[in-house]
Structure 1
């Protein structure tokens, strides 16, 4: 099966391929076969990419997808209010069906906005049925997804059996793969963190860990002292850790995921984008939680760009595109498969409208995407060569039915938890 993306402005994010003002991309059996100014492929299905930017799909390497049903409700909340609401109030009332509905619609929303790869950081842990519901939803959504199984919020319960069970089911092949969501040493102790990293090494799993410091703690230095830094770990947020600790992460080959909207709004401190770069790391971008922020990468890029430019002016628009594509793919161990448009990679590609009045005229593509891009521009989405969104609409998805299902889930959870949905909920830590 062949597909030809014809006549688009190609922003490949691959130095060897470069950018093409007018280019074609040939896909064979889900894999990019050729990128050139013009490609003759009379036996291919042709997708007209004129008046479109053709670029790799975005990679969101940290999102708690189970919270989708409460989108927007926490726009005014601090971090402690969010934790009280999501973990301390509503989480206990989630059924497997609630997890399934939130995960499915949240993953489809991400696809709709051009996020072809997403790491779903799952910490609504209740039992195996809840875990299986999340996995089933990710498999139903036609995106590339990483089920990052965490142990829950500030709990010390053993997780070995859960991790092994899910690893046996999610074996690392196909579009849905697995990662291990670690608990920090401040939650469970250094011995537990050590055992979890050993288990991840044994099972061949990449890991993700939330971290940060108020200036009195040195979480990265503590891990370094115990030999626990890995090139396979993504550290989420990291606000407040020292420059020396960032250099430790760089030396270990670790990655850092910046969630700029959440970090600025919830009081985490300035995003670590520029400091990570100065330490020799390539930062990546993520959404985190949609009760508080929007779920699209355009907004995340713009927030990170504005915050860092306001501090030192050093970033360029192209940097943000790299953070959200090839750098984030590398943080997930997927840089050989996705994150750029290059022969041999799987065709995770999005087409952005350039004739829309909100972005027209597009004089410099990278600058236009970062400064003026939004989900409404995402016309076409391909994952592993399969068209999952065409002409602005998801393919084969009954969106009204899913909306009804998620609303019923939200209303049931809220009623069970005794919380209002009229905008007056003000969680008290």
Structure 2
């Protein structure tokens, strides 16, 4: 048992928990857990970290990202969702080897750590063989990030005489293999990225949802992007008793108000990717519709082939977008600017901490800073030009923070970034491998690129 102690001294602490915000306090970490948060702790034999001038926050949770696309950064930046389906899933994805998946996932996960994300939901749906899945999982473990690997399935155009992907049940044996192989891993959980009724036949949806229920794992699915393949699928799934807290809907724009209310009542979770949803043509994020029902989304980057991987930017964009929608609605209804903002910055910070942990069923372990929880935390330098003066620490975190302020990142009591430097050896060599992979993939399909 790891009993090494670290005393983080003198930070402004935003716990996002019952203890609230502490203007100046210390955080004692013993092994992989937080054991005390209070001002002026006296501890013998602990490594002391001077955090004066810093704001401490819970580690961020990226609740939805296709990490396998890291080597294709910027390639899809000008594509709509329809172009993305055509060029990515039916094109570029088909030439990935396990090595391509490994380097993309490793660098993608390290980038998340560098930006303050301590938990990554890796929604891997380009894994045609077990070797592809194993390569991605190995990369997550190598990175040191807390990860939830969501085993998905590829989506190529069907060849003549071939069963199309939307008629193929999720490979249960492969999910079971991964669950058994990685049982007991402290920083890794295994779940299923299924097609769902929007993208599959009813038979497939029933199989996949029943599989997740029987295995006791989360089933996450995309909802939106054109007409549903099974228009009455949700009603049939609910009638079969297959909906509940273990079901996660990503995007969700095609859901009616009645469906959304029903799913909230059933305890299902929702993950938005606000920036990418607006970019690729999904529609407005679900944020406001969920808030009206007393719920909140978790947030994800979604696609680094389209945009950057910074989760605080995702919080800021989702906040600004929903405030804009609320302001326009108020002006149309009342002819004036609303007297107050509808959403606070604290809510936005919760989307990338508390709600991400809730989506994974791990709020008892991560998502806030509290005694007994896993020591997943971030120290932000608040004494820099872009942060001073700090009047409201939460607002400073959400609205002012950039990558330059991400000083230190801890996962399960271990520093993964310290004093502005990622503690990973050989990053230049990894980037060279990533560039080589990206060049090979784009050249295989004749895609113009100036990558080097």
TM-score (norm 2): 0.90
**What is the 5 A alignment of 1:256-335?**
256-312=270-326, 313-335=341-363
The answer to whether the 8 Å contact 1:221/1:245 transfers is no
- Single out whichever of 175-184 and 104-113 deviates more from structure 2: 175-184
Gaps of 5+ in 2: 156-164, 327-340
Distance 2:234 2:53 in 1: 47
Distance 1:117 1:29 in 2: 18
Change (3 A) 1:218 1:323: farther
Give the match for residue 157 of structure 1.
168
Note the C-alpha offset of 1:213: 6.9
SS in 2 for 1:256: strand
Give the match for residue 244 of structure 1.
258
Q: Structure 1 residue 388 and structure 2 residue 416: aligned? A: yes
Distance 1:409 1:179 in 2: 27
The answer to whether the 8 Å contact 2:13/2:21 transfers is yes
Counting matched residue pairs gives: 422
Which of residues 49, 60, 69 in structure 1 aligns to 2:71? 69
The answer to whether the 8 Å contact 1:111/1:381 transfers is yes
Q: Structure 1 residue 11 and structure 2 residue 14: aligned? A: yes
The answer to whether the 8 Å contact 1:229/1:252 transfers is yes
Q: Structure 1 residue 253 and structure 2 residue 264: aligned? A: no
SS in 1 for 2:90: helix
Note the C-alpha offset of 1:162: 1.5
Give the match for residue 222 of structure 2.
210
Q: Structure 1 residue 371 and structure 2 residue 382: aligned? A: no
- Single out whichever of 154-163 and 97-106 deviates more from structure 2: 154-163
Note the C-alpha offset of 1:150: 0.8
Which of residues 366, 370, 373 in structure 2 aligns to 1:345? 373
SS in 2 for 1:389: strand
Note the C-alpha offset of 1:219: 5.7
Change (3 A) 1:106 1:150: same
User: What's the Cα RMSD here?
Assistant: 1.6
- Single out whichever of 254-263 and 363-372 deviates more from structure 2: 363-372
TM-score (norm 1): 0.95
Change (3 A) 1:20 1:186: closer
SS in 2 for 1:363: coil
Give the match for residue 427 of structure 2.
399
Distance 1:326 1:240 in 2: 25
The answer to whether the 8 Å contact 1:172/1:178 transfers is no
**What is the 5 A alignment of 1:88-237?**
88-153=90-155, 154-158=165-169, 159-171=171-183, 173-212=185-224, 220-221=234-235, 223-237=237-251
SS in 2 for 1:345: coil
SS in 1 for 2:449: coil
- Single out whichever of 156-165 and 398-407 deviates more from structure 2: 156-165
